[in-house]
A and B are shown apart, each in its own frame.
Chain A
């Protein structure tokens, strides 16, 4: 059974590239491309159309919307979210991770990596990469997430670039347990996400983190 994917991006070039990649893939089908989150939320919630399993979300959209709010809205509508973006400031990525997205994937990723990530996200699992782990591990407020020592160890090994298999070997944990830990880390991080729902709060948080979000291209 195919996994239905939609993408939100306001770069036409990126959407065309994505269409190409998924057309060649096995098991994933791009069923829609959109420029705004509102359109995607409407599409995900539209029962008359085939259900959407995974939404590929660009972090930086031209409407200036907040990744946290965007990801939350899509997940609430019933789809898993995978961040699919060009390089971003850790501030934006953390905003999305606080919403509990399945993982982050750079746009420069290969088709294989893209499909693997989509498959994991569709099954509700966590797509853990060094980028993902590094962003969480280097969060100055990581102590507020209250990870267990084992979870910290797993996170740090992932951030180093160790593979799931090697992490299991190095920690003496079963592969399933490692995957389970990743899920817990993801959930705890999302739960510890400081609620910041207005634009003003967002800016304040950005300033606290040392990041002021860049401008939107208008």
Chain B
């Protein structure tokens, strides 16, 4: 304190640091960013994909082991007794892992998916490595009879779903290839090539599905997060600005008046620190209401001026106590006048009407609908000329910016135009304000079949078909050729169309050509080969059925498959075809049809529900965010003001000191609200002390007075210069008065400080 006889306000050095903390009032941008950092990343799409993978692979794995693989009997037998061999132990583990993934899909938590996929995939991989190790080291493996290669794609798909980046793809290709090579113990050679090629072309669609699905769902989640974040930012800024305005109203009405009263001796300083807290009441959060009757009457009178010939249908009477938020009233009036003047301009001879419909509940206005219709020439909304498009932009834009308001425009050439403006008190739901419209990709994109069903792949598949066919002896070159041509036609047809669903005509071609292929190949068949594929054509049949099922033609695929089973059975029974290839033997080779049917179906179902799921997630998250933002703002601001008052008026200070403190605090609060750019701890401290010495200080921030600019201007390096200049000037003892001003944008000067001291008046200019 300075040594004078007069009582002095407390020097800043005797007050706590937080007394000079920047006010949270004007820092909506910071608050908003802080709230954003806690934003939970959207994972709806990824979770949906995980569920598909969990059910699709889990169920298929179990079905494969129990029914479809070469080792089904061994697998089922392993459960009759406790596991007493390496293979039995592996069966048990596989079963538990597959069941766990299916159960995990019911729990539907990201962590559960992650761990079940990781554990299941690695359990398989471990078994596979042990098997490989035995083969390499001893030449034989106790796990050979497990035929691990039969279902290698399923646990590998689980691993791919959780392994980072593209690591899963090479891992899957290598694992599947090696598994295919060693699966049946075939000596290395041509048949190994066939086994590997077959395993890869069978599994690649599933792997692509997983990998692409993962990329797409992750991109989708990112897009959803961005859209949501932007929407939340807008909503929060709007909320904060409104809250801020209201809060400042309270600070003005309560706090500043109170402090002024204390300073002037009208009010005794509070005797307890708790009294200060009573200053900050709850802040209301709704717009000022205006009388509905008055709003309607003004709308009618102004509509009459804009469109004198229009027919207005207005309710006979409305309850006098019914009100409408003032901002809604203003927006609706604007939109009404704009719509009317547009109608008058573009449909001058049309009959124009405007119907007002008020929704009331127990005397309160809960909704208002204005329908403006004309029977004029109308316009094509898609091809609207600029001026007509302007209606949409002007009216819709304004309406959308107002809580609870909605607008729709219906117009067709020759059929007039109907504009509906509405407001509902249910108003601002989080869903509406998010506006987070997310384009959910088509199933085709999500599944990634576009990457698989390409001409090059059809050629590759045909080459594999030919390769497989070469493993058997043939009785008729003609029948073989016909079989291969039919299979090639089917493969070529399967890559047609731009949608996931194979076009009907190509489906028909496939359904005709595949049984034809099957019959020709069966009639041509002479005898089984010693190595896999013992009989080539059932494997081709299964592949073609799988591809058709993946192209969203599951029913046709199963039908085609059944027809071929009947053909096989008939030929086997009649002796025209090989007896080894009957319906049952073909059926046991076909288990892969199950995931081929299940997975695309599930993807389709999931993507259908995705927009709703994402919108729901976004609404819930936004609502939570807004409440959190409001609480955070009010909490911070109220705490800040209360803490300032409590510290300045601390009862341990002398009454006269408190009185002076009240005055300095009043000025400090004014500054922090009126001139936020000057609200830095250093400036605040210097100003407090200088005012305590009797220096007259005026801080004018005319740059951030427009609230929406307050968040960008504070990063200007010139701000630091004027703040520092101010601190330096105020440190001088002979200063009498200082007026510092930060100019509005677009001026040649950034800021000035006019200083009067014992030697005269001079000016600091920051350009």
A residues near B (Cβ < 8 Å) are 11, 13-14, 16-17, 20-21, 60, 64, 86-90, 106-108, 130-131, 134, 137-138, 140, 159-163, 166, 198-201, 203-204, 207, 209-217
Residue of A nearest to B244 (CB): A214
In whole Å, how far is A173's beta carbon from the nearest beta carbon of chain B? 17
> Given A134-B741, A200-B298, A207-B327, does the pair A87, B256 have CB atoms closer than 8 Å?
yes
Interface size on B, residues (CB 8 A): 59
In whole Å, how far is B124's beta carbon from the nearest beta carbon of chain A? 62
Q: How far is the CA of A134 from the CA of B747 in the complex (A)?
A: 13
* Contact of B64 with A by CB under 8 A: no
Does B333 lie within 8 Å of A20, measured CB to CB?
Answer: no
Most chain B CB atoms below 10 A, which of A16, A86, A204: A86
Residue of A nearest to B755 (CB): A161
Does B248 lie within 8 Å of A213, measured CB to CB?
Answer: no
Q: A207-B330, A216-B249 known; 19 other A-B pairs, CB under 8 Å?
A: A11-B257, A13-B257, A13-B258, A137-B702, A138-B743, A160-B739, A160-B752, A160-B763, A161-B739, A200-B326, A209-B706, A212-B241, A212-B242, A213-B249, A214-B249, A214-B250, A214-B252, A215-B288, A217-B249
Does B253 lie within 8 Å of A217, measured CB to CB?
Answer: yes
Does B260 lie within 8 Å of A108, measured CB to CB?
Answer: yes
In whole Å, how far is B684's beta carbon from the nearest beta carbon of chain A? 16
Does B744 lie within 8 Å of A17, measured CB to CB?
Answer: no
> Given A20-B264, A60-B249, does the pair A160, B754 have CB atoms closer than 8 Å?
yes
| Chain A neighbourhood of B330, CB < 8 A | 200-201, 203-204, 207
| Chain A neighbourhood of B327, CB < 8 A | 203, 207, 212
Contact pick for B329, options A159, A200, A210, A216, CB 8 Å: A200
Does B298 lie within 8 Å of A106, measured CB to CB?
Answer: no
Q: How far is the CA of A13 from the CA of B242 in the complex (A)?
A: 28
Interface of B is mostly: helix
Contact pick for B700, options A108, A131, A216, A217, CB 8 Å: A131
Does B295 lie within 8 Å of A159, measured CB to CB?
Answer: no
Residue of B nearest to A198 (CB): B298
In whole Å, how far is B399's beta carbon from the nearest beta carbon of chain A? 13
Does B249 lie within 8 Å of A108, measured CB to CB?
Answer: no
Which of B306-314, B602-610, B667-675, B713-721 faces chain A?
B667-675
* Contact of B761 with A by CB under 8 A: yes
Q: How far is the CA of A198 from the CA of B294 in the complex (A)?
A: 10
* Contact of B284 with A by CB under 8 A: yes
Does B261 lie within 8 Å of A14, measured CB to CB?
Answer: yes
> Given A87-B673, A107-B260, does the pair A199, B326 have CB atoms closer than 8 Å?
yes
Q: How far is the CA of A186 from the CA of B247 in the complex (A)?
A: 31
| Chain B neighbourhood of A60, CB < 8 A | 249, 252-253
* Contact of B355 with A by CB under 8 A: no
* Contact of B627 with A by CB under 8 A: no
Chain B, 693-711, contact with A by CB distance < 8 Å: what is the 0/1 string?
0000010101001111000
Does B670 lie within 8 Å of A134, measured CB to CB?
Answer: no
* Contact of B214 with A by CB under 8 A: no
Residue of A nearest to B267 (CB): A13
| Chain A neighbourhood of B254, CB < 8 A | 217
Q: How far is the CA of A67 from the CA of B294 in the complex (A)?
A: 20
Q: How far is the CA of A89 from the CA of B704 in the complex (A)?
A: 12
Contact pick for B707, options A130, A140, A211, CB 8 Å: A211
Does B252 lie within 8 Å of A138, measured CB to CB?
Answer: no
Q: How far is the CA of A211 from the CA of B575 in the complex (A)?
A: 92
| Chain A neighbourhood of B288, CB < 8 A | 64, 213, 215-216
In whole Å, how far is B331's beta carbon from the nearest beta carbon of chain A? 8
Does B252 lie within 8 Å of A88, measured CB to CB?
Answer: yes
Task: Pull 5 A–B residue pairs with CB atoms less than 8 Å apart, ordered by A.
Answer: A203-B326, A204-B334, A214-B247, A214-B249, A214-B250
Does B707 lie within 8 Å of A210, measured CB to CB?
Answer: yes
Contact pick for B708, options A11, A204, A210, CB 8 Å: A210
